[in-house]
Amino acid sequence: MFRNVAELVNLAETQNKKISEIMIEQEVEITGKSREDILKQMDKNLTVMEEAVERGLNGVHSVSGLTGGDAVLMQQYIEKGKFLSGEIILDAVSKAVATNEVNAAMGTICATPTAGSAGVVPGTLFAVKRKLNPTREQMIQFLFTSGAFGFVVANNAFISGAAGGCQAEVGSAAGMAAAAIVEMAGGTPSQCAEAMAITLKNMLGLVCDPVAGLVEVPCVKRNAMGAANAMIAADMALAGIKSRIPCDEVIDAMYKIGQRMPTALKETAQGGLADTPTARKLEAKIFGIPLNSRE
């Protein structure tokens, strides 16, 4: 059993195992299920992610009309070959958006770690798949590695926007994805932790301010930026760059920031982008509420 990232990395290094393997073994121990059953369930999660990405890339729109079609636009932009960023990064962005657009359209997604941040892990996974050509087993391991870091965050801080702002949702998801990318690319357990730390450090303080209280704006595009953040952090860690602040301390800092964050900035739609004039007009239009009726 591990309680924090330091213990997780130590277990992996002393036993000469991947972080994904440590997580699988812990799941077997905690649930009492067989290894085969644990792997089968994660395989099902992977299938749900794959289907969500595919559906989003075919084009979906939410009932509110606030989101939809951006994943398609990004793919079309990539195909033109005139992009300024790296192709894999933009592919990750597109697939992260695709997944979260499916969520906004009331489709089936796999919460990683939440529905509102469900695009980052699959977005990055199916983007790096093109370069690393992983087996199905390795893709499943990717999800277990993500889950290991998500497990630590959930048990030492929080993963919900209502509790800690979007830093706890997209921030955590991006860190989870970065760590998993590193392992899939052949990085060490320590490098996985460095990637998580670098990613989360750069998303500290991110508020949760959904327009009209819907998990659409700015949520979908934050999944896009979380995916890009994860990709860059993974490359930094693989290059040997380290976080001066240990991963567990970064997670603790995120927790303390979330505790101090005003309620208006934690999924209540009372502040931030949700309280801009345009956001209030959109809210009134969606719900048929006169603008002057708000208290």
- What pLDDT digit, counting tens, does each position of 164-201 carry? 999 999 999 999 999 999 999 999 999 999 999 999 99
Backbone angles phi, psi at 208, to 5 degrees: -110, 105
Q: How many domains does the chain have?
A: 1
User: Could you read off the pLDDT of 30-80 as tens digits, one per residue?
Assistant: 999 999 999 999 999 999 999 999 999 999 999 999 999 999 999 999 999
Q: Is the pLDDT of residue 226 over 60?
A: yes
With respect to residue 173, please indicate whether it lies within any of the assigned structural domains.
Answer: yes
Largest CA-CA distance found in the chain, in angstroms, rounded: 63
With respect to residue 47, please indicate whether it lies within any of the assigned structural domains.
Answer: yes
With respect to residue 292, please indicate whether it lies within any of the assigned structural domains.
Answer: no
With respect to residue 294, please indicate whether it lies within any of the assigned structural domains.
Answer: no
Give the pLDDT confidence score for residue 289 in this predicted structure.
85
With respect to residue 237, please indicate whether it lies within any of the assigned structural domains.
Answer: yes
Q: What percent of the chain has pLDDT over 90?
A: 97
3-state secondary structure 185-226: CCCCHHHHHHHHHHHHHCCCCCCECCHHHCCCCCHHHHHHHH
CA distances from 179 to 110, 116, 149, 208, 230 (A): 18, 20, 8, 23, 8
With respect to residue 171, please indicate whether it lies within any of the assigned structural domains.
Answer: yes
Q: Is the pLDDT of residue 295 over 70?
A: no
With respect to residue 291, please indicate whether it lies within any of the assigned structural domains.
Answer: no
With respect to residue 262, please indicate whether it lies within any of the assigned structural domains.
Answer: yes
Give the pTM.
0.97
Q: Which residues contact 205 (CB under 8 A, 6 or more apart)?
A: 165, 167, 257, 261
Domain extent for 187 = 5-286
- For residue 162, give the CATH number of its domain: 1.10.4100
